[in-house]
Amino acid sequence: MVLNLSEQKLSIPEGTEDVLGLDMRYREHIINIIKEVYENYGFNPHKTPILEYLETFNGHHGEGEKLFFHIKDKNDKDLIARYDLTVPLARVASMYPDLPRPYKRYQIGPSFRDDEPGKSHFREFTQCDADIIGADSLLAEIDITVMAHELLTILGIKNFVLKINHRLLIQALALKVGLQSKEEHLGLQRALDYADKVSKDGLQGVKNKLLENNIPLNIANQTLMEIESFANLLTQFDDLQNQINQIEKFFDNCPSAAKAAADLKFIMSYLPKNVQSNIKIDLTLARGADYYTGYILEGVAIDTEIGAILGGGRYNQLVSAVGNANEAGVGLAFGLERLLSVLKSLDYIDKNIELPSKILLANTNVEFHPKLFVIARELRKYYDVDIYYNQSPFGDIVHFAQQNKHQMIIELIGKQPLIHAVIENETMQSKVTDILNNLDCI
The Cα 292–Cα 236 span in angstroms is 29
Give Cα 230 distance to the centre of its chain: 30
* Binding annotation for L-histidine: 84-86, 113, 127, 131, 287, 291-292
The Cα 224–Cα 204 span in angstroms is 8
Listed in sequence order, the DSSP H helices in 42-162 are 54-57, 86-95, 139-154
Contact of 243 with 234, CB cutoff 8 Å: yes
The Cα 313–Cα 285 span in angstroms is 11
CA atoms within 13 A on the CB side of 378: 16
Contact of 270 with 142, CB cutoff 8 Å: yes
Contact of 275 with 149, CB cutoff 8 Å: yes
Q: How many CB atoms lie within 10 A of CB 325?
A: 16
CA atoms within 13 A on the CB side of 440: 0
Contact of 386 with 406, CB cutoff 8 Å: yes
* Binding annotation: 84-86, 113, 127, 131, 287, 291-292
**Sheet containing 329-335, strands listed edge to edge, beginning at the edge strand earlier in sequence:** 44-45, 103-112, 124-133, 329-335, 308-314, 295-301, 160-166, 279-281
Q: How many CB atoms lie within 10 A of CB 372?
A: 15
b/e map 27-36, b = 16+ CB within 10 Å: beebbeebbe
